[in-house]
Structure 1
Amino acid sequence: MRFYKECLHCNKELIGRRDKKFCDPQCKSAYQYQQAQEQPERFYNRVDNQLKLNRRLLKYFNKAGKATIRTEQLNSEGFNPNYFTHYWKNGKGDVYLFVYEYGFLKRVENTIEKYVLIQWQGYMEK
């Protein structure tokens, strides 16, 4: 008795084991990639991607170790201040939010919202 099944990706006739689903590893990989693209983005991936983008932007705009930038400029690049990895409170009580080793603090100067950008330093460890 012979079973006729087709590859789930390319629809070629499958030869071999009864439970075979793909004709080769490339079709299996292409099929799984296609299925993943059709699924909505997982929560973990959304958070991870936003953290990576936030870190990249903070690093780019903070080349000297400390910088100030308007919030609108950073936010227009895709920065989202709601995604951070940890925080640090300085002696004055200001709370800096960090994305890995790059931190930011929201300030308002003359009605203009800005972020003060800093880089993690050894003395911040407690």
Structure 2
Amino acid sequence: MNFKNCHSASAIKRNVVFEFDTGRKTKPIPKRKNKKVMEERKCLECGEPLRGRADQKFCNDLCRNAYNNKKLGKSSKYIRKINRILRTNHSILKDLNTENKTTIPSKKLEKENFNFNYHTHYYKTRNGKVYFFCYDQGYLKLDSNRYLLVKKEDI
């Protein structure tokens, strides 16, 4: 095989490339004119320079979590508060409704700190009775001191 040294000073000066097996000269590879200048990317949270993937936004998981927690901020705090109340109400109804249909005194719900102001949805029957639900657990006020607890099966 006929190998020529492509790193010789004359080849570099003239910007000529040799093919190894034939020894023929080939055209020089033109340099790009519209080369994109890569801007330095910085972490959205701490401002540190990023290394790695082109679509990377954060330098680590701590910065990503901190950024997203700040972004969600106060509005998600309100939502978390309501979801906590709904989960508590659901848990109370589920614990008291051991069967799929149970009648209990209203003092039991009050004792468990059930919050009657929060529910996920309601169901109005043809008779005009209104069942309030926290997810799949519901209740109907029968009279001033009794509630009917039910579980909705079909979702």
Q: TM-score normalised to the size of structure 1?
A: 0.56
- Length, aligned pairs only: 114
Counterparts in 2 of 1:38 and 1:23: CA distance versus 1, 3 Å: same
Which one of 139, 144, 148 corresponds to residue 108 of structure 1? 144
Match for 2:140: what amino acid?
A: L
Which one of 112, 123, 126 corresponds to residue 87 of structure 1? 123
Cα root mean square deviation, aligned: 3.9
User: For residue 52 of structure 1, what is the aligned residue in structure 2?
Assistant: 87
Quote the offset at 1:49 in angstroms.
4.5
Residue segments in structure 2 that go unaligned for 5+ positions in a row: 1-36
Match for 1:119: what amino acid?
A: K
CA contact (8 A) 1:8 1:31 kept: no
Which one of 103, 113, 121 corresponds to residue 67 of structure 1? 103
Match for 1:89: what amino acid?
A: T
| Alignment partners' CA distance in 1, 2:99 and 2:132 | 18
Counterparts in 2 of 1:13 and 1:84: CA distance versus 1, 3 Å: closer
User: For residue 23 of structure 1, what is the aligned residue in structure 2?
Assistant: 59
CA contact (8 A) 1:105 1:116 kept: yes
Work out the percentage of aligned pairs sharing the same amino acid.
Answer: 24
CA contact (8 A) 2:44 2:67 kept: no
Quote the offset at 1:73 in angstroms.
1.7
Residue segments in structure 1 that go unaligned for 5+ positions in a row: none
Quote the offset at 1:6 in angstroms.
4.8
CA contact (8 A) 2:43 2:59 kept: yes
| Alignment partners' CA distance in 1, 2:149 and 2:54 | 60
Counterparts in 2 of 1:27 and 1:121: CA distance versus 1, 3 Å: closer
Question: Greater relative contact order (Cα 8 A, min sep 6): structure 1 or 2?
Answer: 1
